[in-house]
Amino acid sequence: MTTPALPDRARVVIIGGGVIGCSIAYHLAHEGWTDVVLLERDRLTSGTTWHAAGLMTCFGSTSETSTAIRLYSRELYARLEEETGQATGFKPVGLIEAAADADRLEEYRRVATFQRHLGLEVDEISPTEMAELFPWARTDDLLAGFHVPGDGRVNPVDVTTALAKGARQLGVRLVEGVSVDEVRTARGAVTGVRVSTGSTGESHDIECEYVVNCAGMWARELGAQNGLVIPNQAAEHYYLITDTIEGLDPDAPVFEDPASYGYYREEGGGMMVGLFEPQAAPWKVDGIPADFSFGKIPPDWDRMAPFLEKAMARVPVTLDVGVRTFFCGPESFTPDLAPAVGEAPGIRNYFVAAGMNSVGILSAGGLGRVMAHWITTGRPDVDVTGFNVDRFRPYQADDGYRAARTTEILGTVYAAHTPGKQLHSARGMLLSPVHERLVDQGGHLREVSGWEGADWFAGAGATPSAEPTWGRAPWFAQWEAEHRAVREGVGLMDMSFMAKLRVSGADAGAVLDRVSAGPVTASAETITYTQWLDEGGRIEADLTVTKLADDDFWVVASDTAHGHALAWLGRAVGSSDVRVEDVTADYAQLNVQGPRSRELLASLTAADLSTEAFGFRTARWIDVAGVEVLCARITYLGELGYELYVPAGSGLKVYDALQAAGTAYDLEPVGLKALASLRMEKGYRDFGHDIDNTDCPLEVGLGFALALDKPGGFVGREAVLERRAANAARGGMAQRLVQVRLLDPEPLLFHAEVVHRDGVPVGYVRAASYGWTLGSAVGLAFVSGGGAPVTADWLAAGSWEVDVAGVRHPIEVSLRPMYDPTSARIRV
């Protein structure tokens, strides 16, 4: 391909000519944005796209966004040749996913039910049926399989070429042999790129409004030049192709057996055997060579031999023929196995789409559509709370962190996702000021956005242990006791991982009032529970804003929303006289919660904690055990309670004082499992879990937090008013977030269980826990009326069930919290 002259200006510059970059270019063109130039340092597909296995396997996700992205990709690749004249190699030969053990069978039954609800055609089949469809595999020791006839395979280079051709036909320029040396910015926004050509090495500046970093393995280093954290890391990925196997059907389905680490499909008359080993090897942690193109990595035979033998034993014929190709090449992975996409924090119009975790081909079509929509409209139209690049924190870019985490995270691609499983690498990055007490009290620690948090407590001096399970575990007894301590007495919970921002300056109140849907500037020492919305009236953050003084505010968001809240507020501040300090690590957050919390706290302070003097949603600085703390009378558990923000250096002193005084009130340390069960019984929302960026606050029961008549309004107000008027015209909302509770106390809910009304699927559970006070599993589900308004009468008129791994169980549903619906307990 001859390199054309470089333009001096383009509306959008896409960096990287792999399948992701080409898909974004294609979809931008279809959105009408054709003043786009894609720059590839070598040739299209030269990074990792060219050697991808090309699996088009939609099965396996309980994310609505991921499933939709994959289904769209499959549909696009099937029709792309008709549009562009370029074949994609898509063959819907089908997929068989093997369940080799009870945990995988439980997981896949839950996944199948969820994805069937979203439109994926998937059926459970027997080992005999698996053998009929894929006779080369041993199936006698497998429990079941899951067959998706519409899945299959695709040629990665052909798909990329088709996307590139489709973009070019609509006017997009694709330029090969050009390296981007620098993304230029001014006043917090993209202004252009500086490039050099491979032929001459001459520099050239291209002015632009938008940049999209699709640089794959190189995305981290490119982003770091502008202070961005994109912690994707390349790792070795292996597959082999055998010599010709007589009778191997080229239209045989793709076969996957994650328990044997392998995937299998026909390739050129032989069998491709691909591997996702349980312990991986990161590659070039210190930086990917700039000239690496169409390259291979020398294979580590000694390390891979045991995994390869197990994988090949699943399909014994592969052991009886020679190996034509043994390939090792790089694939890049993120620390949480989710992609890094979206607008970069701190730089307007700098977008990222990287870290595909070995599903780049599968995701490219749908992700390209999502990114094009995001760029052209300013907001995504799918839930991206778990994908947004602003979720990453600086420590995750560290070489040692990436090396350790990548070794483990790649191994989870084919691991069973049994509840209770957690990562063990790169731990202890962030420690609470009271961490040593969590350990002393037998806390079973788990990672909470990089922090170490206690899930439950085994007791002082005891060593906690837990095995992942879909059922009930011995430690459920401790969980129940902690839950009941908060409901009936008093509990002490460390939540120092919560994001804490100090917002000050002459314009602090005005900026926060504009960005917040609630009235955050009314009275000093007042906590406002509020949402931050986008212009379309959709939720971007769910948090509390406390006014300490006219120019001093305290903002608290969840750990998962930390980066996004910072980024969103940063965009709102602009050039205003506002200072935003991230004080998360500077303060411990110790929550004293339960009916006896006032008694306990009063024993350690001279402050008047009576309801008259210190009512619900009051916050002020008081002395507790000789330490000045910010005491907030607020709860996320549904009881009388207080959150204490303690200077980190005094965290242990206050914690120990609470513990010592608490013996008179039967105080118990309380972990995060109780946090989940307590808040779920009360129906409290959690952004990024049961509410997300696609939700309107009216539909998820947060209309009470909106100050629609607030002078000056707020971002998103007009859109909310339009939606409210439309709801009134139709007689109610078309969809709602409702609380659900199983009538049978035995089954457990986790996430993604499909909800039925009168035998018809109407939604699914977004988050759940066990409700020890309510007596059974409880969750929050988003349901649609299918044309009918979702009202209390509509809910009451239906017969309701939830599908748990293929078995339906009766449930009750409610718009109001099932526990303390009037919130009388928190205001006493």
Closest CA to 654 of 712, 699, 588, 602: 588
pLDDT, position 2: 47
Q: Read off the pLDDT of residues 544-594 as tens digits, 9 standing for 90 and up.
A: 999 999 999 999 999 999 999 999 999 999 999 999 999 999 999 999 999
Q: Rounded mean pLDDT of 752-765?
A: 98
Residue 167 predicted with pLDDT over 80: yes
**Alpha-carbon distance values, 558 to 392, 497, 698 (Å):** 14, 8, 21
pTM (predicted TM-score): 0.96
Q: Read off the pLDDT of residues 146-160 as tens digits, 9 standing for 90 and up.
A: 999 999 999 999 999
Q: Which residue in the block uniquely carries the two structure tokens 């870290």?
A: 355
Residue 757 predicted with pLDDT over 90: yes
Residue 1 predicted with pLDDT over 50: no
8 A C-beta contact, residue 481 and residue 666: no
Residue 70 predicted with pLDDT over 90: yes
Burial of 321 (0-12, 13-18, 19+ CB in 10 A): middle
pLDDT, position 200: 74
Q: Could you tell me what percent of the chain has a pLDDT over 70?
A: 99
pLDDT, position 790: 97
* Positive or negative torsion for Cα 791, 792, 793, 795: positive
Q: Could you tell me what percent of the chain has a pLDDT over 90?
A: 98
Which residues on adjacent β-strands are paired with residue 15? 39, 213
Q: Read off the pLDDT of residues 624-653 as tens digits, 9 standing for 90 and up.
A: 999 999 999 999 999 999 999 999 999 999
The b-or-e profile of 7-17 (16+ CB within 10 A means b, else e) is eeebebbbbbb
Read off φ and ψ for residue 363, nearest 5 degrees: -95, -20
Cα–Cα–Cα angle for 764, 770, 776, rounded to 5 degrees: 90
Please tell me the chain's helix, strand, coil percentages from 3-state DSSP, rounded to the nearest 5. Answer: 30, 30, 40
Residue 19 predicted with pLDDT over 80: yes
712-814 belongs to which homologous superfamily?
Aminomethyltransferase beta-barrel domains (2.40.30.110)
Residue bearing the bigger pLDDT, 198 or 536 = 536
Can you tell me whether residue 736 is helix, strand or coil? strand
Q: Give the whole-angstrom CA distance, residue 324 versus residue 302.
A: 19
Q: Read off the pLDDT of residues 377-418 as tens digits, 9 standing for 90 and up.
A: 999 999 999 999 999 999 999 999 999 999 999 999 999 999
The class of domain 499-670 in CATH terms is alpha beta
Q: Which fold has domain 9-219+231-333?
A: D-Amino Acid Oxidase; Chain A, domain 2 (3.30.9)
Cα–Cα–Cα angle for 388, 390, 394, rounded to 5 degrees: 135
Alpha helices by DSSP H, listed for 637-700, are 651-662, 672-682
Domain ranges of the chain: 9-219+231-333, 499-670, 712-814
Instruction: Return the number of other C-beta atoms located less than 10 Å from residue 575's C-beta.
Output: 8
Closest CA to 58 of 1, 16, 119: 119
Residues 6+ apart with CB under 8 A from 609: 598, 601, 602
Confidence of residue 726 (pLDDT cuts 50, 70, 90): very high
Q: Give the whole-angstrom CA distance, residue 518 versus residue 143.
A: 53
